[in-house]
Amino acid sequence: MTALGRPQFLLQFSEVLVKWRHFFSLLAAQQGKDGMAVLDQKLELEQLQNLASLGVGAKQDIENWFTGEKLGSSGTIDLLDWNSLINDRTRISHLLVVPNVETGHLEPLLSRFTEEEEHQMKRMLQRMDILAKHAVESGVRLMVDAEQTYFQPAISRLTLEMQRIFNTHKPIIFNTYQCYLKEAYDNVMVDMELSQREGWYFGAKLVRGAYMHQERQRAAEIGYDDPINPDYEATNRMYHRCLEYVLEEIDRNRKANVMVASHNENTVTFTLQKMNEIRLSPRENKVYFGQLLGMCDQISFPLGQAGFPVYKYVPYGPVNEVIPYLSRRAQENRGFMKGSQRERSLLWKELKRRLFSGQLLYKPVH
């Protein structure tokens, strides 16, 4: 997504969304609803309309928040309702005004947001729309890659808006969830619930993550909590938890698809076991597998031969940029290196079997 527009805008928009969600958590804590599961937290509308008495904002500020369509017909607002207060009809310059949790007042995130920046945002949305329409016309899926956490909230939100438009009949647009993040499961759960509430098809690509060192370094420099799971095993557990949640949803109504983008054999085995438990046939094309081209073929080929949809990911670009990229993938995913060693072991085992069994290594040409 950072190739389609100004990364600086994604950074600013992400900050707005993070502060907006944090403000919801603050209000939930003030109403005694902290500690609950994220989707179980519901704010009372009556209390929200009296936020000034809680020391949060001026009466005029609060009235401005709740203009337009009234949310929460049940008398409460949950996180999905709260997020929808920022919608596609809201001007970007208005979005860049966020609540300061210390002072309780709305404050501009930027000193100004120019007309040119507004146009840049519109052009970014137009480029996304062109790509999505081309995917529909070509009968393919469009998977939006995940990036660093300081960009990701905006990327996920813009991807969600495309899913609302293009995933009405089948999952065309997929969002990517990085399972090395501590909040990965909550992100999957919130987006899945929104798709169920609004009736569109949910598409997820699950990866472990690719920016561990950058994320931890930035967290240490700026002084916020490390967003990454503490170790590789915790990331594995998070990956399997998110995957199981999506598979359960597929089992319920078949309105979700998932790309298992992993070089980890245990994860592939886990997926196959869960599919067998829910009697999900590979021919239904609800679960896809993906690995890098030329890597972990000992996983890809047997899956393909068994009838599972398997895709090989092809990094494309100048050699001096692609090689460092592949090196980072190896460093950031220890499972890839283990798979590489296992692939070499299997090849050597097969070579010895053919040599000592007298089987021809090459068929004669007639």
Q: Tell me, what CATH number does 224's domain have?
A: 3.20.20.220
The rounded percent of the chain whose pLDDT value lies above 90 is 31
- Main-chain phi, psi angles of 123, to 5 degrees: -65, -35
Residue 169 lies in a domain: yes
Q: What is the model's pLDDT at position 89? A: 44
Residue 257 or 297, more confident: 257
Q: Where are the alpha helices (DSSP H) in the chain?
A: 7-30, 45-48, 59-65, 79-83, 92-95, 115-138, 152-166, 184-198, 212-222, 232-253, 265-277, 297-305, 319-332, 334-357
> Domain span at residue 207?
141-320
Q: What average pLDDT does the chain have?
A: 78
Say if 253 falls within a structural domain: yes
**Amino acid (1-letter code) at residue 122:** K
CA dihedral 262, 265, 270, 271 (to 10 degrees): 50
pLDDT for the residue 72: 47
- All residues at 6 or more sequence positions from 129 whose CB lies less than 8 Å from its CB, including other chains: 162
190 and 275, same domain (yes or no): yes
Q: Could you give the angle at the alpha carbon of 180 between the alpha carbons of 178 and 181, nearest 5°?
A: 75
Is residue 12 domain-resident?
yes
| Same-domain pairing of 189 and 94 | no
Do 272 and 155 lie in one domain? The reply is yes
What pLDDT is recorded for position 353?
75
Q: Say which residue, 282 or 117, is predicted with more confidence.
A: 282
Per-residue pLDDT for 86 more than 60?
A: no
More confidently predicted of 242 and 104: 242
If asked whether residues 195 and 290 sit together in one domain, one would say yes
Note whether residue 332 is domain-resident. Answer: no
Label residue 84 by pLDDT band (50, 70, 90): low
Could you tell me if 203 and 313 lie in one domain?
yes
In this structure, the answer to whether residues 171 and 280 fall within a common structural domain is yes
- Where does a domain end: 301, 320, 339? 320
**Can you tell me the distance from the alpha carbon of 171 to that of 202, in angstroms, rounded to the nearest whole number?**
6
Does 87 map to a domain? yes
Q: Widest CA span of the chain, in angstroms?
A: 91
Which stretch, 115-124, 192-201, 341-350, has highest mean pLDDT? 192-201
Tell which of 304, 320, 336 closes a domain. Answer: 320
- List 256's β-bridge partners, or say none: 202
pLDDT at 358: 58
Domain annotation covers residue 114: no
Q: Are 177 and 207 in contact (CB under 8 A)?
A: yes
Q: Which of 83-97, 155-169, 181-195, 350-364 has the lowest mean pLDDT?
A: 83-97
- Return the pLDDT at 125: 82
Same domain for 156 and 197: yes
The total domain count for the chain is: 2
Residue with the bigger pLDDT between 173 and 22: it is 173
Indicate whether 229 belongs to any domain: yes
Instruction: Say how far apart CA 112 and CA 93 lie, in whole Å.
Output: 8
Same domain, 234 and 93: no
Task: Give ∠ CA 85-142-2 in degrees, rounded to 5.
Answer: 65
Both structure tokens of 94: 């208005």
- 10 Å CB burial of residue 297 (0-12, 13-18, 19+) is middle
Residue 157 and residue 92 share a domain: no
Pairing of strands 287-292, 256-261: parallel
pTM attached to this predicted model: 0.76
Least confident of 22-26, 171-175, 235-239, 360-364: 360-364
Same domain (yes/no): 171, 75:
no
Judge whether 190 lies within some domain: yes
Picking from 91, 108, 125, the residue at the C-terminal end of a domain is 108
Long-range contacts of 167-170 (CB under 8 A, 24+ apart): 167/195, 167/200, 167/201, 167/202, 167/203, 168/199, 168/200, 168/201, 169/201, 170/201
Q: Are 204 and 316 in a shared domain? A: yes
78-82, 104-108, 202-206, 296-300: range with highest mean pLDDT: 202-206
The answer to which of 222-236, 267-281, 339-353 has the lowest mean pLDDT is 339-353
Average pLDDT (330-335) is 54
Q: Helix 7-30 to helix 152-166 angle, to the nearest 10 degrees?
A: 90
75 & 22 share domain:
yes
- Three-state SS for 165? helix
Counting Cβ atoms within 10 Å, is residue 138 exposed (0-12), middle (13-18) or buried (19+)?
exposed
What pLDDT is attached to residue 261? 94
DSSP state, 228? B
- Is 333 or 180 the better-scoring residue by pLDDT? 180
